[in-house]
Structure 1
């Protein structure tokens, strides 16, 4: 009885104190708000670590009243949405888009030497420096990054389906027009600019659509999807070599253009934005949105977000480092006295283990945490480059490096979009 009386008196005293000293009450509210933000930040880290994988009851914090609508702190979506069978067609479409876009950017950019050798011997007959030819692939691949903001603005303005179709036309048109090139600048215009732009549109938009359809197994799904570029990387060199030897370089490009159009068109038909249910029960998707004004699409306020700046810098650094071993490995093997066949085998092994690494990192990331796995895998990549590749002076040591680096670097692609679309990021945006 005395305890109840004391509790009642304490509550009354607190109410009186609030009335008599409003400044103190305001200070208390500010402190509680700060604690609330700290709590949400802590919750974000737990979610990123993979320990918060199921919907949990929000713990009580003294002085903080629950919101009117309890946010979802886990990554459980409605079972009906998660079990939507069409998500597997999305995965297939993304796989095909990755295979045809990234494999062309890497292996059709004269980096493997097949088409560079053809143009050097049969078209330009040694009159053009090999460095100029190598820039064909370099410029084309650079469009994969440069087209990032543009592709997203186009998607917001005209819809993802139209952007994918434009990419399908450009990727095929660039290859077919490249077959008629008789000057280096022709290749810059067709293969580098037109084809590179189309490949970038397919790659970027497919990476944006696929995560929308997966929540519980998003890391694994993204790993399977981006493994398409690795599978394409295994097939493309052999296909290009056969076409080049039997039909010639010009028809090699034309056949690849037709194949690219067919596969890209299938991916375009399969890929679509997931419809989002609004509060009123409406359904909205980017494919159904009306055209927007460009001033509504371009939002420069994102550059005021320090987290976005850090994220962009880290992402660019990881992508810059990823391709260095893959591009310079064949020439490094040649300088060590290895045969061209051994150098080609090293590249093939890199592509194979990279496919496995992309799928495995996504699968493990769903259980342990995508951020944790990404950090671990990237550290091992850096350490292997520094302590294995630096001292690799034989075929065996190079193979050890390729297996290690190829597997661990798979996380660069498979976990990048999973981190960006992690539920913890979405819930923080909703609560701020």
Structure 2
């Protein structure tokens, strides 16, 4: 009964009124499904799952590339320098969110998804033939990040337009694609690197990504009741400052953005450096290089239930009520579990648990933004949040690499930086949970 009461508090829909007269026996007894159960809505979730599988899933697998580059093409460069490739991916992806969200609110998802698919596949093919650092920066860093942004934002925003009561659940199912891709791509690439070489391994991943992108384009659509925001007139797509000013006048959105920025400084560090940690301590951990590669897969495997189960529970007890614990536990796991590993089973357990908690954090941010946003402005708000997150995401991983180099290979400073920033970010988001927004009365 308590869960049912929580679900009623979370939902802004009034209880349906009983029909004034019974349905005649001669008429059909089947009722039209509610908007959240339509076939188009389910297809959109499926398409978004595939879009995130081939985009953010490859983001999550960058640790595989980081380790490969350090041993092959870029062996003469430091880990911090190599990490700039992945950080540029994140920065371009996050920074493009504001503009992409505005375009989505004005035009919808189709052209964004089509353009993003072409850019994404082209960037992967160019990465397969790149041999120099600047080439990888351009192809895998900048171009790939842009392609991911053009696919990621329209996919999740489209899902949010089909759902209200079960919005977090639907977004969690879609976001699970990123973790599923993070499991498949490291294993696939690690095997292909050995069997067909780097170039053909990456080109095969481009083919897989193309198939996913085409399916996403054909299945993703906006909800029937989604109306563009007044500030999203197609003639004013470039004018984002007024929209940003309105968004940041909402104290809850402002605190959510600040907390997310702080957390983003350290949230992705384990995805980038866990393999380097294992390789540096391999005599103690007794993990073979082949087994170490699977840690990235374990990290992302934990993110699959982490994106689905908490999202479903969030629709019952509140989205913010789970976002804060997910972020806080992620930081605690880093500080308490990463450096105390003595046996391989413990580092694998850390990877799975961190994947679960960080996956829950990533999956719950979007429904929280959608919940405190006016209808028709969801795309702009989600995109604006990710644009703000772009800057800490750019400097977080290279800063961790710099700490690693300065401490001569010791991971203590890197781990402390990662865990503490995520914890502080969760506390700021907790303040957003209790903030009062006089303009939008939405329960959390």
* Fold in common (TM above 0.5): yes
CA shift in 2, pair 1:403/1:237, >3 Å:
closer
**Aligned match of 2:337:** 388
CA shift in 2, pair 1:327/1:130, >3 Å:
closer
After TM superposition, the structure 1 stretch with the greater mean CA deviation from structure 2, 414-423 or 153-162, is 153-162
CA distance in 2, matches of 1:103, 1:118: 23
Matches within 5 A, 1:307-386: 307-336=252-281, 337=283, 338=285, 339=287, 340-386=289-335
Matched, 1:52 2:6: no
Query: Can you give the 5+ residue segments of structure 1 that lack an aligned partner in the other structure?
Result: 1-46, 58-77, 121-125, 278-283
Matches within 5 A, 1:151-170: 151-170=100-119
TM-score scaled by structure 2?
0.70
2:168/2:319 contact within 8 Å kept = yes
- Encode CA deviations 1:344-386: one digit per residue, 9 max, x unaligned: 3433222112111111111111122111122222222222222
Matched, 1:241 2:151: no
CA distance in 2, matches of 1:394, 1:90: 43
SS in 2 for 1:179: helix
Matched, 1:188 2:145: no
SS in 2 for 1:86: helix
- Encode CA deviations 1:74-106: one digit per residue, 9 max, x unaligned: xxxx95323322111000011001110012223
CA shift in 2, pair 1:153/1:425, >3 Å:
closer
CA shift in 2, pair 1:311/1:191, >3 Å:
same
Q: Aligned-pair distance for 1:172?
A: 0.6
**Aligned match of 1:262:** 211
Q: Aligned-pair distance for 1:112?
A: 4.8
CA distance in 2, matches of 1:424, 1:143: 24
Query: Which of 98, 122, 126 is the matching residue for 1:173?
Result: 122
**Aligned match of 1:89:** 43
1:158/1:292 contact within 8 Å kept = no
Q: Aligned-pair distance for 1:210?
A: 0.9
Higher Rg: 1
**Aligned match of 1:68:** none
- Encode CA deviations 1:362-421: one digit per residue, 9 max, x unaligned: 111112211112222222222222223343343343234333322222211221111112
1:107/1:236 contact within 8 Å kept = yes
The answer to which structure, 1 or 2, has the higher relative contact order (CA under 8 A, 6+ apart) is 2
RMSD: 3.2
1:156/1:297 contact within 8 Å kept = no
CA distance in 1, matches of 2:363, 2:10: 19
1:179/1:250 contact within 8 Å kept = yes
CA shift in 2, pair 1:394/1:110, >3 Å:
closer
Matches within 5 A, 1:88-237: 88-108=42-62, 111-114=65-68, 117-120=71-74, 132-237=81-186
TM-score scaled by structure 1?
0.72
SS in 2 for 1:274: coil
1:48/1:369 contact within 8 Å kept = no
2:180/2:304 contact within 8 Å kept = yes
CA distance in 2, matches of 1:424, 1:188: 35
CA distance in 2, matches of 1:150, 1:290: 13
CA shift in 2, pair 1:108/1:348, >3 Å:
closer
CA distance in 2, matches of 1:248, 1:376: 42
1:102/1:229 contact within 8 Å kept = yes
